[in-house]
Structures are given as structure tokens and as C-alpha cells.
Chains A and B, each alone.
Chain A
């Protein structure tokens, strides 16, 4: 693990913002490593979750918000369930992801693109339209071969709806998103 100069990276405002938004006390982490031991995604992370907690205590905003791990957390709740100090670690990961989203250098990549396509579908129809989400993902990423081999399994079984199921109140859903965006404007 690299060393850190607390005089240059210790961002107290960052720590308090994470604590406020997550409702957690990050100082409670005593680095037992249980979260990392149980995390199914450690093999894919660039920084293991227990080390993210440590960098968070050190207030190293940039190192955390630029890391890839934030976008590979599936919120499986293993860390939260097993933390001996009752820290909702998955909620902290979620909050860090919210903050990372605001930065141009976030490592969301295709994962973020897929999630954005999902929410756009919900905003347009009121419900997630699976076929439309994949089409939108493929268009945005240029990965035209994504899961094409699965279509012959899904189509004959009638498991892939070709048109969206718009709800009557879809305008209400669009308004939820609109009000959310307005609440974010400074």
C-alpha cells in the first residue's frame, strides 16, 4: 500500500461530506479486513474495500473518487452485514459512487453506461424495457456484438418483449426525475 502525506491529502471536508451523506462514522473502522475477505469483487477491484475505508479515513478524495472499485460494487451487502463495527460499508460505497459520478474522470465506463440506459428507459416508460436498454447500451458503447448469442435463446421462449410496457402514470415518473435534477442545481 502506498504511503500518504496527511499534510497534503487530508481533506476533512470530504470525510464529513461522506459521513453526512451516508449517515456513517468512518472513524469506527479498525481495519480488520472482514469486508475485503467477504467481498466477491475483490478480484476485480483496483483498491480493496477495506483499503478504500482507510483512504477515506485519511481523507484522500482524489484517490478514492478516481478508483475503479466504486463502479464494480454490486451492493451485495456482504460487507455491511459482516462489519463488526456495524458500519454500512455498502452505503458508503454507494455515496462515494454518487460523488464520483460528478467528476469527468470517473471510472464508470460501460457499467455506468448500462445503468444510465436503464434509468433512461424507466424515465421514458415508467418501467424498465429490457430490449430497449440493451439497444441503447449497444448504441452508446458501439459494442454491437453484446449478448447477440442470447437472442436466439430468449426470442423463441417469448422472454424478450419487443415493445415497452408504458404505464399510465409515466409522466409522474418523468416528473420524479425532473424534480430530482432541479433539486441538484446550485
Chain B
């Protein structure tokens, strides 16, 4: 197992998702994963580039693959699913020599293949594993019931993404359970949040992200946990807009899973950065702590409570 990876932070990590970048780096370090930033990395092109042309989009991504390869590591990892998709799609389609030539014709330095692309989530889940994460927990997040929301492209299409299940991914569920939290069964795990339409078509985001918040609240979750900067921004920063458009009154914090890992591993407030979230998560965390305390009391009073029957015989 290689424990050194090239790290591609992505543009939003410098702005609207700073806390995701900071907590991802801290968690990786705590779990023994060494990261080297892709030197002078550039934007992957995100959604806008592939809506213009696939060769252009792959060229913007492939410049970074070439730079990652030059550092001598075989795997580049990124926290952002949009960057992940663009880097993976470029690597995938550039396996075709004719397409690769077209892409390389746009680049100063050609990319000749040989770099694997994975998400930070994938390496934590597969290369480190839930047991190793659980072994390092200092402050379990008992009582925190979460809606695990993966977003639309972390796992799709499966032929390109090659990670977890494309309809019912579980990596984040299992990691949250490993740190003592509860992952609710969340049927809209891979439904789109409205993606990059927040600026131009707010009504679309209000409708699609509104459905996600309605379901999370309906399932009695105290918060949503996500792995995508765009999903997080739509659900958290725009939660007021969503409430106003839909006549709802949600107040659901939206964490990055790396923030919760960092919290459970006891890595300190400066890397958890809860103050960066727009919906204040402290009431939800306090409620989780109260639930945990109540559960602790019940557990000590009735140590051997018999399991309730799940169904009455007909």
C-alpha cells in the first residue's frame, strides 16, 4: 500500500470550502497518509468546461495529471467530486490514443498516462479502513444522527468512478458509524442537489436541495453530512433561500465528513472549523451530547435489556 499521494485541493478549497480542505489535510495526516500538493495545480474545468467541449475539458484536467505524475507518485487524490470526475474522465478517455493525441495537442507538456485518480473518501475508506479509523477515535460522536448525502457524481457513472455502490453508496455511512455517529438510511443519497445552478437558476436549487432537507428532517436527523463542496454550499449557505422559496423552516447543519472525522479524532477546533458553517451546528451537537448522556444512563441502569420483538406472530 502506498501511503504517499499527490493531493489536488480544487479551487473551492481556496474559498467557499476552505474548511473541507483544512479538515481533509488534517485527517489524512492523522491517519498516516502523506500528501504532496500537485505543484502549481490549475482548475480542472469543472462543469463549465465539459459543456463547451470534451477535448478542452480533458486538457484542463490532464495538465494536473501530468504535474502529479512528475512528482513520482502513482495516485492523485482530491476531496471534491467535481474535480474527481473531471480528472477521472480525462484519465479514462485518454486511454484511447486518438483522443489522447487531440488532448495533448492543446497542452504544453503531454500527459502519457500512468496516474490513478481517487477521492480522499476512497483512500480513507479502502486504504486506511473503518477499523483503523475507529481505533484512533478520542471523542466518539454518539447520539449524532446524520443524513449521509453523497451527491450525484461521487459514484456515477460506475464504469468511470469505480468506487462503492452507484445507487446506495455506504463508505461515508460506515466511516460515520466508526466514529460513533449514526447514519440514517437516506434514500436520496445520490440525488442531485441542483449543482451549479445556484447563481443562474436559484429556483432549481430550492426545489432539489429542498427535497433533501425535507427528507433529512423527516428522518429525524440532526444534521446532513456530505463529501461535496457544491452540495454543501447549496444545502448550507443557501438554506435560508431554500426555506424562503419553499415555506419551510429547516435549521439543519451540513458538515463535511472530514470535519466530523477530525472532531472525533480530537484534532482540534482549528482544523474542524465549525465556525465556517453558515447553519450553526452547536445546537445539534449539544442535542447529540444530551442523547448520548441519556443513552449512557439507560445503559448502566438496564445492562441486559431484552430485545423488543420486531413483529407480532399472526
Contact = CB atoms under 8 A, between A and B. Distances in A.
B252 to A, nearest CB: 16
B276 A81 contact: no
Contacts of B167: 81
B198 to A, nearest CB: 8
Contacts of B50: 75, 94
A153 B278 contact: yes
B152 interface: yes
Contacts of B278: 153, 157
B184 interface: no
Interface string A122-137: 1000111111001001
B116 interface: no
A18 to B, nearest CB: 13
Interface of A: 40-41, 43-44, 72, 74-78, 80-81, 88, 90, 94, 97-98, 101, 109-111, 113-116, 118-119, 122, 126-131, 134, 137, 146-147, 149-150, 153-154, 157-161, 165, 167-170, 172-173, 175-177, 179-180, 183
A131 B16 CA distance: 10
Contacts of A78: 152, 156, 190, 192
A88 B156 CA distance: 11
| Residue with the greatest number of chain B CB neighbours at <10 A, chosen from A173, A175, A180 | A180
B54 interface: yes
30 contacts: A44-B201, A74-B195, A75-B51, A75-B153, A76-B192, A76-B195, A78-B192, A94-B54, A98-B53, A98-B54, A115-B52, A119-B52, A122-B42, A122-B49, A122-B60, A126-B42, A127-B14, A127-B43, A128-B12, A128-B43, A129-B11, A130-B12, A137-B199, A150-B237, A153-B237, A159-B15, A169-B42, A176-B59, A177-B56, A180-B55
Given A44-B201, A80-B157, 7 more contacts: A74-B196, A76-B192, A97-B51, A115-B51, A118-B46, A122-B42, A176-B60
A158 B173 CA distance: 30
Contact of A167 (B17, B42, B190, B237): B42
A183 to B, nearest CB: 7
B11 A128 contact: yes
Q: Give the dominant DSSP class at A's interface.
A: helix
Contact of B200 (A113, A160, A180): A113
Interface in B46-74: 46-56, 59-60, 63
A81 B105 CA distance: 31
Given A122-B43, A167-B40, A176-B56, A154 B201 contact: no
A90 B50 CA distance: 11
Contacts of B199: 110, 114, 134, 137, 146-147
A154 B16 contact: yes
A115 B157 contact: no
A168 B157 contact: no
Nearest to B53: A98
B267 interface: no
Contact of A111 (B60, B107, B108, B197): B197
B275 A157 contact: yes
A44 B204 contact: yes
* Closest 6 pairs between A and B when the two form their complex, measured CB to CB: A76-B152, A115-B48, A76-B192, A77-B156, A74-B195, A110-B200
B43 A172 contact: no
A21 to B, nearest CB: 8
Given A78-B152, A118-B48, A167 B56 contact: no
Contacts of B45: 119, 122
Nearest to B211: A40
Nearest to A22: B54
B41 interface: yes
Contacts of A101: 51-52
Given A40-B191, A81-B157, A150-B237, A74 B15 contact: no
A123 to B, nearest CB: 9
